[in-house]
Amino acid sequence: MGLSITGENNRLIIVENGKERELTEEIPGLDIVVNGNDNLVRIGFPQDFQNSRLEMFGNGNCFEKQRSGAKTGGVFFHLNHGSRIIIGRNCLFNGNISILAKEKKGVSVILGDNVIMGTGCIIRTGDGHTIVDKGSRDPLNEPQDVVIDRHVWIGARCMLLKGTKIRADSVVGAMSLVNRKFEEKNLLIAGVPARVIREGIDWDICDYISYTEVDETPSPKRETLFSSIFKK
């Protein structure tokens, strides 16, 4: 589809070399569909989009993605009801990923710099259906923000649900379900639902053999093979 904009007062902005301009052309690897009014898309260049799609429905949504030297592969971004998705610099997305900000006005998904997300992950601010109290019929599962700090590694096939918060320099084990706030940094969390497995950890973009061969005596301040792309 490429680029499809319907409605009034929608702004699509590219930021490149510190300068802003209106987006008038298609972005390779990213389909954009906007249907509504007063929506904002703001994307920093360079980017490496691959087979990804951004959908905005309704009014007053905001999507911002800072520049990245890493792949944004196979990501479905969806916003509705005046929601926000904010993504920091150099985040890596490894395919078949859904990020959904919807179901409540003003709800947000926020990812800090240098977040890595494995294949098959889902982030969503709402449950898709409403759970109600049998007597009062009041709703029980109000949508909430999802906040991921900088330098967080989210393993493959994880699900991050409403109310999730993960602090910096943490790791989420593969196939975990996260549905609450973890207020400490440097955590390894995993499980269904996720819990703290280990404290006081950090992680590196290199795989094990690359990490150990870069420096026989690793230091917390040393440079890695990928430091030109992923800076903490």
Take residue 19 and report the two structure tokens written for it: 């300068």
pLDDT digits (tens, 9 = 90+) for 5-23: 999 999 999 999 989 999 9
Question: Could you give the percent of the chain with pLDDT greater than 90?
Answer: 84
What was the pLDDT predicted at 214?
Answer: 64
**Please, which residues have CB within 8 angstroms of residue 107's CB and are 6 or more apart in sequence?**
81, 83, 84, 101, 125, 126, 143, 144, 145
Residue 206, phi then psi, degrees to nearest 5: -70, 150
Q: What is the pLDDT of residues 87-125, one digit of tens each?
A: 999 999 999 999 999 999 999 999 999 999 999 999 999
Inform me whether the pLDDT recorded for 229 exceeds 70: no
Q: Which two tokens stand for residue 21?
A: 């301009």
Give the mean pLDDT of 219-230.
Answer: 50
Residue found under tokens 């429905």: 57
pLDDT tens-digit readout, 181-205: 999 999 999 999 999 999 999 999 9
Name the pairing type of β-strands 187-191 and 194-199: antiparallel
Q: What is the chain's alpha carbon radius of gyration, rounded to the nearest angstrom?
A: 19
pLDDT band of residue 220 (cuts 50, 70, 90) is: low
d(CA 36, CA 63): 14
Listed by start position, the domains of the chain span: 3-128+141-201
Q: Tell me if 124 sits within 8 A of 105, measured CB to CB.
A: no
Instruction: Compare 62 and 222 and report the one with higher pLDDT.
Output: 62
Cα separation, 68 vs 87, whole angstroms: 10
User: Which residues, in sequence order, are CB contacts of 103 under 8 Å at separation 6+?
Assistant: 80, 81, 125, 126, 127, 128, 143
Q: Is 2.160.10.10 the CATH number for 3-128+141-201? A: yes
